Amino acid sequence: MNIIMLGAPGTGKGTVAGILQERIGIKQVSTGDIFRENIKNGTELGKIADSYISKGQLVPDDITIGIVKKRLEDEDVKNGIILDGFPRTVLQAQELDKILETKGQKIDLVINLTTPEEEIIERIVNRRVCSNQECKTVYNLILNPPKKEGICDKCGSQLIKRKDDNIETVKQRFENYIKQTSPLIDYYEKQGNLYTAVVSKQINKLGKDVAEDIIEKISQK
């Protein structure tokens, strides 16, 4: 099964994808994590990506598509993948369909998460992520704090705050999402595989609740 996570930054895509990976056994792959790892290691790709990400801009399509195409060749995703952070544009979605078609596969489910903008900003500035790339558990200092400050509950690794998790960058990323990524909702709605869910403390529904709904939906297929 191939799944796509859609939603503006801070809507809980990583949380939902992480739970799905654990429960249904499909590998979660975040293009953001791939970029951040390259930035951390100072690779050529990392330098290019950082020049865009640090300004709250999207990395160009050709670079991102190439990375995803290469990742889809790996053994751990041969039976399915949960894509978090890709596609970001209709062009990327069209290219992904072509790549999967050559493998005799398709996108089975597109999960579209929505959250009020003021909640998104609050979530992101309080977000902390496990530094262990095999774990990558996401915490929130207000909504879902770790049991021990600065330490991951699951693996004991240090929690970090992403460099781009600040108000200015978040607002820019949100604007970019509305302009460039929201057309994907129409694209997948026409394909008939879109599932939209609201993640908001205003209705007392968080990412873990949405994940449970999706698992139940998948089990009924």
3-state secondary structure of 47: helix
Dist. CA 201–CA 161, nearest whole Å: 22
| Sheet with 159-160, edge to edge strand ranges | 138-140, 127-130, 159-160
Q: Which residue has the tokens 């579209």?
A: 112
CA 186 to chain centre: 19
Paired strand residues for 81: 2, 27
Q: Which residues are catalytic?
A: 13, 88, 127, 162, 173
Q: Are the C-beta atoms of 151 and 45 separated by less than 8 Å? A: no
- CA separation (Å) from 24 to 57, 79, 82, 99, 136? 33, 12, 11, 23, 17
What would the two tokens of residue 215 be? 């698992």
Dist. CA 60–CA 197, nearest whole Å: 28
CA-based max dimension of the chain: 47
Q: Are the C-beta atoms of 157 and 132 separated by less than 8 Å? A: yes
